[in-house]
Structure formats: C-alpha cells, structure tokens
Amino acid sequence: MEDPQRSTPAPSSCFNCSKLQTELPEPLKRCSKCQTALYCSRECQTVNWKSHKTTCRLPGSAPPPNPPQGSGSRHNPGFEVMNGMLGLSGDDFLHKLPEGEVFTLLIDCFRMRVEDEYSFGGNTIGIYNGDKPLPPFKKFLSLAESRQAILPSWWSPEKRRECERLAVNGNQWSDINAAVEKSDIQDHYNDNMMPMKLRILGEKIYGKGFM
C-alpha cells in the first residue's frame, strides 16, 4: 500500500527563468563552482550570477575536485586522426603565420575552448561565470608557453603582453569579453574546419580534451 504522505519530487528547473527540465530539449547545466544551481543557458547563468554568487561555494557545496593527474593526457575522440588530417601533428601550426594572426588564433582558441567547456561539460569559465576573462586567458597563455614547440620562436614576454592587450581591446572581433560559438568561428574565418583546428590547438595547450 502506498504511503499517502509520499509525493512525487518536483522536476528540476532553471534558477533564473524557472523553465522546467521537462520543457527543455537539453539537460540543465550545473554551476561548476557549487554544482547546485541549474541553468538552461549561459545567458540565464550570466543574468543570475549577481544573486547566485552570494550563496555559491557555501560550506557543504564545495566545487568539484580537479580530475586525477593521470587523466590529463586524455584527448577527445578523433583527436589523433584529425590532428594528422589537418596537418597539425607537427605542433608548428602557429609558426608559419604572421604575428597578428598568431595573436588572433590564440584568442579565438581560448574563446572556443571556454564555449566547449560550457556546452559539453557544463563548466563555466570567465564571462560564462560572470568573472573577468583575463586571468584564465593569462593561465591559458602560460600553459601554451610551457608546451614545447607550440609558440613561434619570436614569442617573448613583450609579445605576450601585446596579445593580452589585444584580447581585451574590444575594437576587434576576437575579444575574450564576448562569447563565441562554432558557427561564429566558421562564418568569421569562412572555414568550416576552423573550429576543429582551434579545438586541436586547445587540446595541445591544455593537454586534454574538453569532454
């Protein structure tokens, strides 16, 4: 006999717009810090951040642990095949390009990665978490500098500062303060494979895939 006091749990809903999970085509994504707040889109998460940040990371809602070190070398499925097909296996993709284009591709590589982290992993970085994007971009450049042969021989602390200034300039399309999607990259570069090229470059820099 069923307990008359027992009720069916209410379906999950977006913390900002209150849309129910049952009304959405995709699963709700969790805040990467507290793993509690749920959102139907990055727009809703950005809007809700001012009110949510006061409770985010309260005791008992710690952020998820970092992945084990052993998983750091795992790449997304198809990485090795596409790496060879696109001619990127030599790690010198950026070496052959003009200085300004190298800066632009590094900026867009970072933008593509934080978009993928959100879309595929529910992880929010920089503007996706309501934070300033320059600190994680600086970390991204530090990782690039730590990898052998990724950056051209002319790269220097001065060139790095120039790249950082360009990334937050606001007067160009490649701007870390603006979100970007796969289709945006394809349209801007007029190259349907450019998102894949940037993803592979990102995996080489981060040492792992986003999934």
pTM for this entry: 0.63
The closest alpha carbon to 115, from 30, 5, 195, 26, belongs to 195
Cα–Cα–Cα angle for 153, 156, 160, rounded to 5 degrees: 120
pLDDT averaged over every residue in the chain: 77
Return the pLDDT at 18.
Answer: 79
pLDDT beyond 80 at 147 = yes
> Which residues, in sequence order, are bridge partners of residue 30?
38
pLDDT beyond 90 at 132 = no
The closest alpha carbon to 210, from 110, 103, 84, 107, belongs to 110
Contact 33, 129 (CB under 8 A): yes
For 74-87, give one letter per residue: b (16+ CB within 10 A) or e: ebbeebeebbeeee
Return the pLDDT at 1.
Answer: 46
List, for residues 93-106, the tens digit of each pLDDT value: 788 889 999 999 99
Return the pLDDT at 45.
Answer: 78
pLDDT beyond 50 at 138 = yes
